[in-house]
Amino acid sequence: MQIAEEVKETYFDRNAPWLIPACCVFVIVTTPLLVAMLGVHIPLPGWSIQVMVGVGSLLTGFRSMQVDTFSARFIRIVCLAVVIFLLLMQVFL
């Protein structure tokens, strides 16, 4: 007689499809700030960071549609708001 093993999914197991792109977006956003604190200048145009954050937010939003958790639903709304904000910022600034 075999004993059935109970499989317990962790938060990361359930939400990995959108957590990985979200972490990449976090690294992209914080890297210029950390480098600036070190006093090093990176010759990147300002729009390049915005493009990377926009693409990363879109990818995170699309990947969050594959997961049916409350945090994934919340991230869909946040990613949509970030992309709309970036587009409006490009239009009006």
What pTM does this model have?
0.76
67 occurs within a structural domain: yes
78 occurs within a structural domain: yes
Q: Give 93 or 66, the one with higher predicted confidence.
A: 66
Closest CA to 77 of 91, 85, 16, 26: 85
1 occurs within a structural domain: no
Closest CA to 25 of 92, 68, 67, 75: 75
51 occurs within a structural domain: yes
Q: Answer yes or no: is pLDDT of 87 > 60.
A: yes
Tokens, residue 25: 């977006």
50 occurs within a structural domain: yes
CB 70: neighbour CB atoms within 10 A? Answer: 7
5 occurs within a structural domain: no
How many structural domains is the chain composed of? 1
Give per-residue pLDDT as tens, 4-54.
566 678 999 999 999 999 999 999 889 888 888 998 887 888 788 888 888
Q: Give 4 or 87, the one with higher predicted confidence.
A: 87
- Domain extent, residue 60, equals 45-93
pLDDT of amino acid 71: 94
| Whole-number Å distance between alpha carbons of 82 and 78 | 6
R_g of the chain computed on alpha carbons:
18
pLDDT of amino acid 19: 94
